[in-house]
């Protein structure tokens, strides 16, 4: 909650000077801080690929995003308890009473290992031989084959903070990381890694407690896709790597 109040105060200072028709309907919106998708700048502003897309869609729909930061599990709990009116991404089954939107962004979840380890992963079941650290709610997102594979791992854990995931690999406490390629490469930097593309792309949606707001978000998303805003946002951020060390 302490991280939420600076954002609230910033909006209180900014919003009163704007006409109501410009400001739009304010929606308490939960987001997960995971660079480069969502990150907080030193001045308290948010930026990132996911944040920019969601904010643009909201604005195009005449809604104002009031951010609330939390982990995947915390956001689902906040939506279930009505602490937020919407959240993104919806990872795993949505809470009861939440309406999913159209997909606003596709994640490319991969397995990633240190190149020097020469780990070979040809299929999901191969993960059972290794110590695996995955993103929070991965077993609910990546399907029963993944859940069965990691059930046999020497050690398996889910970590909500991707920076700590990266540290787990760099210090060799874990053999394999599971998360979106862009997020992992952002935190691992120049470290030589091997990317194992074992999973199908994961199109993620936002979730709204109000079905009418979900429909408006979809309309806003359609507008920014049509007018080039969506493509311009994607162009500002790195795409998937074409690094030859992909297994």
d(C-alpha 75, C-alpha 86), whole Å = 9
Report the distance separating Cα 99 and Cα 182, nearest Å.
27
Give all domains of the chain, ordered by start, each with its CATH number. 4-105+204-235 (3.40.190.10), 109-196 (3.40.190.10)
CB 245 within 8 A of CB 115: yes
pLDDT for 238:
67
pLDDT beneath 70: ranges in the chain: 1-23, 238-247
Interval 14-37: pLDDT, tens: 444 444 444 579 999 999 989 999
Name the CA radius of gyration of the chain, rounded: 19
Structure tokens at 68: 């609330």
29 CB-contact burial (10 Å; exposed 0-12 / middle 13-18 / buried 19+): buried
pLDDT given at position 6: 47
Q: Can you give the chain as a three-state secondary structure string?
A: CCCHHHHHHHHHHHHHHCCHHHHCEEEEEEECCECCCEEECCCCCEECHHHHHHHHHHHHCCEEEEEEECCHHHHHHHHHCCCCCEEECCCCCCCCCCEEEEEEEEECEEEEEEHHHCCCCCCHHHHHHCEEEEECCHHHHCCHHHHHHHHCCCEEEEECCHHHHHHHHHCCCCCEEEEEHHHHHHHHCCCCEEEECCCCCEEEEEEECCHHHHHHHHHHHHHHHHCCHHHHHHHCCCCCCCCCCEC
pTM: 0.84
């Amino acid at each position: 909650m302490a991280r939420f109040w600076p954002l609230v105060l910033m909006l209180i200072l900014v919003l009163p000077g704007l006409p109501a028709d410009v400001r739009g309907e304010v929606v308490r919106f939960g987001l997960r801080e995971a660079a480069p998708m969502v990150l907080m700048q030193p001045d308290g502003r948010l930026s990132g690929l996911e944040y920019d897309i969601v904010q643009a869609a909201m604005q195009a729909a005449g809604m104002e995003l009031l951010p609330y930061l939390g982990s995947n599990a915390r956001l689902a709990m906040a939506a279930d308890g009505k602490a937020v009116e919407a959240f993104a991404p919806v990872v795993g089954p949505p809470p009861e009473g939440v309406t999913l939107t159209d997909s606003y962004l596709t994640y490319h979840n991969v397995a990633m290992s240190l190149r020097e380890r020469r780990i070979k992963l040809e299929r999901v079941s191969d993960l059972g031989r290794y110590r695996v650290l995955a993103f929070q709610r991965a077993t609910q997102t990546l399907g029963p084959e993944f859940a069965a594979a990691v059930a046999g791992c020497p050690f398996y854990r889910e970590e909500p903070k991707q920076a700590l995931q990266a540290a787990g690999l760099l210090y060799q406490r874990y053999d394999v990381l599971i998360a979106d390629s862009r997020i992992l490469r952002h935190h691992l930097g120049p470290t030589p890694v091997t990317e194992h593309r074992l999973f199908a792309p994961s199109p993620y949606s936002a979730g709204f407690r109000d079905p009418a707001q979900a429909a408006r978000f979809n309309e806003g998303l359609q507008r920014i896709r049509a007018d080039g805003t969506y493509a311009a946002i994607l162009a500002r951020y790195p795409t998937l790597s074409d690094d030859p060390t992909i297994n």
